[in-house]
Amino acid sequence: MKIELVNRLVMFLSLLLAQVLILNHVHLMGVGTPLLYVYFAITFRRNFPKWLLLVSCFMLGLFIDIFSNTPGLASCVMTIAGLVQAYLMNFIAPRDSAADLAASIKTLGFSRFLALSGIITLLYCLLFFALETFNFFDMLMWLARSLTSAVLTMVLMLAIESVRSK
């Protein structure tokens, strides 16, 4: 448990710094920004204490918000992503698997991991950009930003995951 918490903390800090120093400056075709920190919410193991999962997702979101001047935005959506992950993990994991199954390509297999991360990332991007453009809601722009960002995030995430699973 202790090693797991240290691992989580390292992941928290590295995703936070990667996002605010590098990824927030990426704007593919002026619309797509990779939101890689959602990877933090996706990789919790099954039956991780739910309250801790929610609080740590919220904290990561809040720190991202503090750095990018969007208080409440990422923290709100990250908390939702954490909750969805906790339930989706039970649903997607094979029935006869271990109770503390980790969420990675190695343990879940490519297609199951793709489904888990795909659903959460897409949901995350749709909610994030809907809330961000609350005042100037433009359907096409919203879809374009959400989808390109979701695709970018997935590509990065799968690249990292395939390196980690070797």
Distance (Å, whole) CA 123 – CA 125: 6
Q: Is residue 13 at the binding interface for another protein, with CB under 8 A as the rule? A: no
| Piece of 61-69, 91-99, 116-124, 153-161 that binds another protein (CB under 8 A) | 61-69
Pick one of 5, 6, 13, 55: the residue that binds another protein (CB under 8 A): 55
- Verify binding: residue 73, another protein, rule CB under 8 A: yes
Do 2 and 26 touch, CB atoms closer than 8 A?
A: no
3-state helix, strand, coil in the chain (%, to 5): 70, 0, 25
Neighbouring residues of 125: CB distance < 8 A, sequence distance ≥ 6: 35, 145, 146, 147, 149, 150, 153
65 vs 112 by CB, closer to another protein: 65
Nearest residue to 81 (alpha-carbon basis) of 113, 40, 115, 48: 40
Query: Should residue 75 be labelled a site residue for another protein when binding is judged by CB under 8 A?
Result: yes
Q: How far apart are CA 111 and CA 121, in angstroms?
A: 15
Site for another protein in 77-96 (CB under 8 A): 79-80, 83, 86
72 is a contact residue toward another protein (CB under 8 A): yes
Residue 28, helix vs strand vs coil: strand
Is 135 near another protein (CB under 8 A)?
yes
Could you tell me which stretch among 3-11, 24-32, 102-110, 154-162 binds another protein (CB under 8 A)? 24-32
Binding site for another protein (CB under 8 A): 17, 20-21, 24-25, 27, 30, 33, 50-51, 53-55, 58, 61-62, 65-73, 75-76, 79-80, 83, 86, 131, 133, 135-136
